[in-house]
Structure 1
Amino acid sequence: MPLRKMLDEFSCLVILVLGIAITGVNSQLDSLGFISIDCGLPANSTSVDDDTKLTYVSDDQFIDTGVNYKIASKYASTGNGPEQYGTLRSFPNGKRNCYTLRSLSAGSKYLVRAKFMYGNFDNLYKPPTFDLYLGLNYWYTVNLNSPDDARFAEIITLATSDYLQVCLVNKDLGTPFISVLELRPLETTLYRDVNSTQSLVHFFRGNTGASDQLIRYPNDPYDRFWRNYTLDTWSSISTNSIVQPDPDYATPSIVMQTAATTSSTNQSLNISWTGDNESVEFLIILHIGEIQDIPRTDYREFDILSQDPLFKYLYAPSNLTSGWVRYKDTGRTAYYMSLKATSKSTLPPILNAIELYVITPATGIPTYIADVIAINAIKENYKVTIGWNGDPCVPIDYPWTGLGCTIYSNVPRITHLNLSSAGLTGELISSFGNLTALVSLDLSGNDLSGVLGTYLDQLVALTYLDITGNKNISSMLPPGLQKKQQDGTLTFKSKLGDFTQQSNKKKAPVVIIAVVGAVVLLLLAVAIILVLCLRKRPDNQIYIPKPNENTGSSPLRNSNAGNFAYNPAANGFHGNNAGKNYTNISKPRGSGEGMLNFENRQFTYNDLKKITNSFQNNIGTGGFGSVYAGLLENGTQVAVKMRSHTSSQGVKEFLAEVTILSYISYFHPSPRRYPNKLYFTDKSDIFRFFFP
């Protein structure tokens, strides 16, 4: 075997082993890919659910705020919920407190469920009302009626990074709390309506015609809750035979083995529900499969109707095979649907299960990335423990404690920072200068030392600066802020204290530079090895459905564009853009669905001036030159790296770094980095856009 090939394979093996080791140490997932959290348990302890046999862990590794409580003993013994309802975590401090669920796969779908039982943990006999957010976006309002009222909120979403955050927001209507938090991975082929722009919030999931109160894991491998739903006017039928699942919702056989029906073909099977307001858009999914042994002389088909006069589906169920009909409805507060036998049918309609979801768009726009990087550096350096988690500014009504935010060009920016008496110690770090939209900065009442560096001159919008009470910090402003003070555009409050320059502080940068240099070299080496490994592998294959292509004749009539059905007897999907034929195509390694193809886009120097606002926001300096924060016309945040003519390294080396970094970005995505980068060498070049 050639030496190079041996080295390549050994390098790949080393990376694989390291990856497994790191995942094993840091992963929050269990062997099923589940995250099951019993909130309020003591650190490093676990509990086991009696029904599912799933192990639940303490929440101490998922959040660093809040207080653990046990519910009152009288409610712990009511049997109104699982064992995990006995403890909870309460959040008396901060407007927003967030759990971080890590070790996820970007581009994958997940079911996230939060459970709540008040249990009079605070002895106030007053259940709170508060909001639940998934990342930047509103999810659910928790509103409990009594101490023993148990509720859950569930959402199906697509992870756009390797973590999700579940945030509880205080609305001044009582102290938020949480009892249980669960995450379950879903196949990416399930729930086609879930994508990067919208999620599905659970409204109702019913197992019609069933007698079991609840079906979940292990009968449903995705741990969905299927609750018994049968009306007095309905009849129930069942079978012991296995019902084959459909490929799009994977409805469990045990759910499909029962169904609701009516006593005669003259009687319709009707379902109704109400919405909070007319703007809510519902997704309705009906699961239907024939579970009776029908004589040749009998036939079952029925129309599915709603309030929309244009909506009408004709459906003939398949024997022992799950099919579905899905449609959307909005614009009212009261809804109903009806399954009615046709004149041709000799048997009444049937319905095995139903799912109702609220379609929730992802409307939240994250805080300007340079601000996020800067404020997180401040948080880490000074060990800020005042509930700084989640996005700093979003939701805009509930920013981090001490922060004020303003929307500029549709992007939230940090404009006010109040860290008065926050226990800050040590020197003022340069990250403060990277909060370039700051108007007000209050650092009074701390124990900061050193000087006010020239990096603060980047705060061109600053009108108020307070450093009073920091007895070991110099009160001399840098030149730019001095000029603002002289012009009367800056109010500066300070109290001159003892200040001594320490000569040994000059040694620190040498150590830092040495460490950073070693880390950079290590990353470059890993990147090169990854490139060698990946070049030996065939391109990934994906399947993209051909739109507007039906696959066979069907008794299904679709008179409402945008609605879909799947009938196994008719060989597939029917409806608008619902074709079931596929084309096999290749995609570049590391690319994902929904990723924009910007690799061939070019920019002029004037374009880049506009993108970076004339290179105003310098967010760092490397061996080749400066890096600037920028914003494309569509709102995409980018980092622009420019090779300086004074750099000791040439254009070839610069372009080599571009190539390596583009590979690193494919396989090491990080929420703390600019996801998009522009590289250029000088004003005479045409510039290429790399989209890792």
Structure 2
Amino acid sequence: MEGQRRRAMAARWLWPLLLGIAGLGGVLQVHGQVDNLGFINLDCGLPESAAGYVDSVTKLRFTSDAGFIDAGTNYNMSSEYITPTMGRSWHNVRSFGGGAGTRSCYTLRSLVAGLKYLIRAKFWYGNYDGLDRAPVFDLHIGVNYWTTVNISNANTPVIYEVIAVVPGESVQVCLVNTGSGTPFISALDLRPLKNGLYPMANATQGLVLHTRANFGRDDGVILRYPDDPHDRFWIPQSKRAEWLEVSTAKKVQNIDDDSFDAPSAVMQTAITPVNSSSPVVFSWDAEPSASNPDPGYVCILHFSELQPLPVSAVRQFYVTLNGQLWLGKGFTPQYLYTNAVFNSIPNHGYHQYNVSLNATGNSTLPPILNALEIFSVLPTTGITTATQDVSAIAAIRGKYQVKKNWMGDPCVPKNFAWKGLGCSYAVSSPPTVTGLNLSSSGLSGNLSSSFAGLKGLQYLDLSRNNLTGSIPDTLSQLSSLTLLDLTDNQLSGSIPPGLVKRTQDGSLTLRYGNNPNLCSSGDYCQPPKKKRSSMVAVYVVVPVVAVLVILLLSVLLICMRRRRQGRTSDNIKRLDEANIKGHNSLRFDNRRFTYSELVAITNGFERVIGKGGFGKVYHGSLEDSTQVAVKLRSESSDQGEQEFLAEAQTLAKIHHKNLVSLIGYCKDMKYMALVYEYMSEGALDEHLRGKDNTMKTLTWRQRLRIALESAQGLEYLHKGCNPPLVHRDVKTSNILLNANLEAKIADFGLLKAFNSNNDTHVSTARVVGTLGYLDPEYHATFQLTNKSDVFSFGVVLLEIVTGQRHILNDPEPTSIVQWVRQRLARGNIEDVVDARMRGDHDVNSVWKIADTALKCTAQKPGERPTMTDVVAVLHECLELEAAHDNVNAGFYTPGSGGIMNDYGRYDTGMSTDLSQSSTAYEQEHLGSVSILSTGPAVR
């Protein structure tokens, strides 16, 4: 609250100052856009019947917000607060009554999933309700808390801005009544951003604007579109008593792949200290809250040299944070090129952040600063309701025009779950809708097929409505449904046979009384006894026939097995076993070993080098001294002949440098074994966990290469095989390393083939794999896709980053996916990185891998990347790591191609200050200025 009070005071100081400049003839134009470029500009509270309009100064086209929300009441601002220069979008508001705990949400649609967006929410109370009591309430973006809106007084406009990755094709902005006044909103903006901008904003964290300053201007001009194509507000900052202003009329260029795209008009002005021996100093206070007691901050300093310097002149300075060097060497801005110094790892742990730019000993010129941005980090790790359930319940809401409180995510946060919905909240999977009570809700029309989309539904109460038409048979497909109440409606026709069968076997309670036209035709309401008898006959006859068939097949199988065993010799010439589903029988061209030969090459199975569900793996040596691994099936193994044939046939037929090579096989009476190349460095999990104390910790570059090679092996199975293959047991213990630490995928006993390249999934009779690596969708549906391997590989990537096991005791058993998500929510990648690497890694590549891993472990297969996508990211990260040793510290320059040097592209924790409050204002006419969001006053 203290931070909010300071911002309000600073806002009150700066607002009249800027208006005073306007009165003195200052040039306070606000540049506007010509084309919307995908922008959304909502005038909140503008009547739905009112036509949209183009602001005469900004050229921004505003529309009513009525099509984006179905709650709230329109009000006009009190006339005493309206001035001739005030932008039209401020004249009215939308207000949301309903009491504490009420959530009202805007839905911004037609977005691009996975793209970054800048979202601005604008508020000007203006005593619209005549209460003269400004409210305090919360803002959420999607299911994640964004900020607390604190309106200091009736004549203080405030703007809040966030940069976030939107996971779907829409995003919701919600106002939450916290019991401190009625929420309202004046306007809402959305701007698409290039995904390369602000790399610190990703799938797990957004950036909330604290300050954005344009130094060296005292004319009051807030630069935005078209000077800034992304329509960011750059607030002028100048302090003539302490700073000299420097400017140029020449264009300042951005480097290739610039991560911030600072506009030339902003970079054309700068400040230096009046006293050339003095530093440039900024500070700001941390602003903890109940939802974020230790906020992290990201700071971006923008530099450009604006004057051609004589040969003898040098401008070089250090950047320090709270007295510690941020950069390990002096920084020299480039002439007429944007340079940036920034941190991608948010800073934590300080009550106040003090940043200083100090000239180095050999510098002849003082420091320079052109612009500054400060953000606090917003965790965006909240898990939303299952996508299929969201789509189904949204369709139900739309069909029946359900109002209630049905806004935002249906189940999350728990205290805002939609009225009438029951939800399940599993630790490792998205919430799902398990109950729906729409009794006495005024529903009319037929029964929507969308109810069948709620696959986890356990009870459905549609009683006491005015529903008409027949009951869809699709409801019988809801396997979890135990109660269906349709009483007191106007339904007609007969009850579908699927529902009748469910009621007969006792799995469903069906209530359908007081539907006068229901069961007027057909036999399914009261099945005659003779039909029940005939069904009993069927239930008896079918099992008897089935038993006879099974007995017959068993006899045939025993005969065939005895015949086959009679033809087995010490040297097996070929394996003509029964086909494995998805594979044809094939000849094995690999070497055939007898059991006695295996005894010889393993020296009596002397040295065990591994153990799995199939049995033990032994070290062996062939006649030519070639080292091999012999995988011998144990008699007690749960895996039998089927798994043996699967692995043998697969390895005989597929070849890739990142898959282990089959050298030979043995099927000698009861003995079955595979002989494959020896991987001397063992399994990846041993290196990550330090099983052998003599093992050196893998470097980050070695880990990246191992990840890439493993990914290439899986990509080959998915894309290079016909039909495509799914491994089904991807884990770090099945990634083996040779003497050069080259990685190869092993253990193909659970491999499954698609019937054709066009198949989207394979249904399996049972779920197999390893707990902690299992795809939750596969586990729930028994439908296997190649995205099941992608999920498992995402877990492998998290193990590579963290060095932790796939299931941790923290202190209760926790999946590594959940463990990483929780820690990355704090915004610090170093909270999860394996400490044994001692910081020897490029932070940007680590972020990319962690982000990719979390995408791989998305709950829905369709939201996961392909292995081809993963391979591409790993290639890119290896390139970043290679550049890590060759480029400049914590900043980039035109010559660096946008990639940083030994400190990593994003240096360790820095933030900067602006001591100037930027409590947000925006007035979009001549003589009005918009001041942006939060922060201490420049001192």
Q: What interval of TM-score do these two structures reach, taking the shorter chain for normalisation? A: 0.5 to 0.7
Q: 2:304 aligns with which of 272, 279, 289?
A: 289
Partner of 2:556: none
C-alpha separation in 1, matches of 2:436 and 2:716: 35
C-alpha separation in 2, matches of 1:475 and 1:83: 59
| CA apart distance, 1:495 | 5.3
* Counterparts in 2 of 1:690 and 1:366: CA distance versus 1, 3 Å: farther
Partner of 2:279: 268
* Counterparts in 2 of 1:676 and 1:128: CA distance versus 1, 3 Å: same
| CA apart distance, 1:450 | 5.7
- Work out whether residues 677 and 689 of structure 1, in 8 Å CA contact, stay in contact via their aligned partners in 2: no
* Counterparts in 2 of 1:481 and 1:137: CA distance versus 1, 3 Å: same
Partner of 1:137: 144
Does residue 81 of structure 2 align to residue 75 of structure 1? Answer: yes
Query: AA paired with 2:287?
Result: D
| CA apart distance, 1:310 | 5.5
C-alpha separation in 1, matches of 2:517 and 2:781: 31
The answer to which of 317-326 and 181-190 deviates more is 181-190
Q: Compare CA radii of gyration and give the structure with the larger one.
A: 2
Partner of 2:537: none
Q: 1:322 aligns with which of 332, 338, 343?
A: 338
Does residue 364 of structure 2 align to residue 346 of structure 1? Answer: yes
C-alpha separation in 2, matches of 1:105 and 1:424: 34
* Counterparts in 2 of 1:385 and 1:633: CA distance versus 1, 3 Å: farther
Runs of at least 5 residues in structure 2 that lack an aligned partner in the other structure: 1-33, 523-699, 701-714, 729-751, 753-761, 768-774, 793-858, 871-939
* Counterparts in 2 of 1:465 and 1:169: CA distance versus 1, 3 Å: farther
| CA apart distance, 1:452 | 6.0
Q: Report Cα offsets for 1:636-679 as digits up to 9, x if no partner.
A: 9xxxxxxxxxxxxxxxxxxxxxxxxxxxxxxxxxxxx976399x
Q: 2:862 aligns with which of 660, 665, 676?
A: 676
Q: 2:382 aligns with which of 321, 344, 364?
A: 364
Query: AA paired with 1:221?
Result: P
C-alpha separation in 2, matches of 1:394 and 1:143: 24
- Work out whether residues 206 and 355 of structure 1, in 8 Å CA contact, stay in contact via their aligned partners in 2: yes
C-alpha separation in 1, matches of 2:766 and 2:203: 30
C-alpha separation in 1, matches of 2:718 and 2:185: 43
Q: Report Cα offsets for 1:100-133 as digits up to 9, x if no partner.
A: 3334344443322121112222223233333323
C-alpha separation in 2, matches of 1:119 and 1:689: 55
Partner of 1:443: 462
C-alpha separation in 2, matches of 1:462 and 1:332: 53
- Work out whether residues 301 and 347 of structure 1, in 8 Å CA contact, stay in contact via their aligned partners in 2: yes
Secondary structure at the counterpart of residue 372 of structure 1: helix
The aligned length equals 518
| CA apart distance, 1:601 | 5.5
C-alpha separation in 2, matches of 1:138 and 1:280: 13
| CA apart distance, 1:348 | 1.9
- Work out whether residues 264 and 347 of structure 1, in 8 Å CA contact, stay in contact via their aligned partners in 2: no
Partner of 2:232: 224
| CA apart distance, 1:303 | 0.5
- Work out whether residues 314 and 365 of structure 2, in 8 Å CA contact, stay in contact via their aligned partners in 1: yes
- Work out whether residues 370 and 629 of structure 1, in 8 Å CA contact, stay in contact via their aligned partners in 2: no
C-alpha separation in 2, matches of 1:597 and 1:198: 34
Query: AA paired with 2:75?
Result: Y
Q: 1:331 aligns with which of 338, 346, 349?
A: 349
- Work out whether residues 118 and 162 of structure 2, in 8 Å CA contact, stay in contact via their aligned partners in 1: yes
Q: Report Cα offsets for 1:450-497 as digits up to 9, x if no partner.
A: 66666555556556665554465799894476469x79x96x877535
Partner of 2:69: 63
Secondary structure at the counterpart of residue 281 of structure 2: strand
- Work out whether residues 43 and 62 of structure 2, in 8 Å CA contact, stay in contact via their aligned partners in 1: yes
* Counterparts in 2 of 1:259 and 1:495: CA distance versus 1, 3 Å: same
Partner of 2:409: 391
Partner of 1:120: 127
C-alpha separation in 2, matches of 1:675 and 1:139: 28
Q: Report Cα offsets for 1:538-573 as digits up to 9, x if no partner.
A: xxxxxxxxxxxxxxxxxxxxxxxxxxxxxxxxxxxx
Superposition pairs for residues 101-180 of structure 1, below 5 Å? 101-180=108-187
Partner of 2:96: 91
Partner of 1:253: 264
C-alpha separation in 1, matches of 2:483 and 2:424: 16
The answer to which of 473-482 and 273-282 deviates more is 473-482
- Work out whether residues 787 and 861 of structure 2, in 8 Å CA contact, stay in contact via their aligned partners in 1: no
C-alpha separation in 2, matches of 1:281 and 1:403: 36
- Work out whether residues 404 and 414 of structure 1, in 8 Å CA contact, stay in contact via their aligned partners in 2: yes
* Counterparts in 2 of 1:630 and 1:476: CA distance versus 1, 3 Å: farther
Secondary structure at the counterpart of residue 215 of structure 1: coil
Q: 2:450 aligns with which of 416, 431, 435?
A: 431
Query: AA paired with 1:259?
Result: A
* Counterparts in 2 of 1:280 and 1:494: CA distance versus 1, 3 Å: same
Superposition pairs for residues 418-567 of structure 1, below 5 Å? 418-449=437-468, 455-457=474-476, 466-467=485-486, 469-470=488-489, 478-479=499-500, 482=503, 496-501=514-519
C-alpha separation in 2, matches of 1:125 and 1:254: 40
Q: 1:304 aligns with which of 313, 319, 337?
A: 319
Query: AA paired with 1:318?
Result: Q
| CA apart distance, 1:355 | 0.4
Superposition pairs for residues 394-413 of structure 1, below 5 Å? 394-408=412-426, 409-413=428-432
C-alpha separation in 1, matches of 2:488 and 2:340: 68
The answer to which of 358-367 and 627-636 deviates more is 627-636
C-alpha separation in 2, matches of 1:631 and 1:377: 27
Query: AA paired with 1:63?
Result: I
Partner of 1:49: 55
Secondary structure at the counterpart of residue 351 of structure 1: coil
Q: 1:185 aligns with which of 171, 188, 192?
A: 192
Secondary structure at the counterpart of residue 168 of structure 1: strand
Superposition pairs for residues 369-388 of structure 1, below 5 Å? 369-386=387-404, 388=406
| CA apart distance, 1:690 | 11
C-alpha separation in 1, matches of 2:500 and 2:784: 22
* Counterparts in 2 of 1:212 and 1:157: CA distance versus 1, 3 Å: farther
Q: Report Cα offsets for 1:249-287 as digits up to 9, x if no partner.
A: 222222222222222343221111122235322111001
| CA apart distance, 1:306 | 0.4
The answer to which of 259-268 and 199-208 deviates more is 259-268
- Work out whether residues 304 and 338 of structure 1, in 8 Å CA contact, stay in contact via their aligned partners in 2: yes
Compare the two structures and name the one with the higher strand fraction.
1
Q: 2:242 aligns with which of 227, 231, 234?
A: 234
Partner of 2:647: none
Secondary structure at the counterpart of residue 277 of structure 2: coil
C-alpha separation in 2, matches of 1:149 and 1:270: 29
Q: Report Cα offsets for 1:412-431 as digits up to 9, x if no partner.
A: 11133222322112343443
C-alpha separation in 1, matches of 2:347 and 2:115: 27
- Work out whether residues 471 and 497 of structure 1, in 8 Å CA contact, stay in contact via their aligned partners in 2: yes
Of structures 1 and 2, the one scoring higher in RCO (CA 8 A, sep 6+) is: 2
| CA apart distance, 1:244 | 1.1
* Counterparts in 2 of 1:326 and 1:689: CA distance versus 1, 3 Å: closer
| CA apart distance, 1:155 | 1.8
RMSD over aligned Cα, in angstroms?
4.1
* Counterparts in 2 of 1:279 and 1:262: CA distance versus 1, 3 Å: same
Secondary structure at the counterpart of residue 378 of structure 1: helix
* Counterparts in 2 of 1:298 and 1:453: CA distance versus 1, 3 Å: closer
